[in-house]
Amino acid sequence: MNGVKAKLKYLSNSFEIIEKGDYVECAVSKKKIPLEELNYWNVDLQEAYFSPSEVKSRYEKLNKSD
């Protein structure tokens, strides 16, 4: 990874590269995710997640009852 952040459009079963790069940043943990390892994202929020743990964390935060 040479350190160039990509810009993606997240689709239902894939993503479209808007700006070429090597990685995206996890919306929750801010960890760098190499594009070849990107498996988790939210189409509605247009966010990438490092692992199921971050997906769960974001889901719980969004669905928190006040």
Give, in order, the Cα–Cα distances in Å from 48 to each of 25, 33, 65, 66. Answer: 7, 8, 24, 26
Q: What is the pLDDT of residue 32?
A: 97
Domain locations in the chain?
7-62
DSSP code of residue 9: E
Q: What is the pLDDT of residue 1?
A: 55
**pLDDT tens per residue across all 66 residues of the chain:** 569 999 999 999 999 999 999 999 999 999 999 999 999 999 999 999 999 999 999 999 999 865
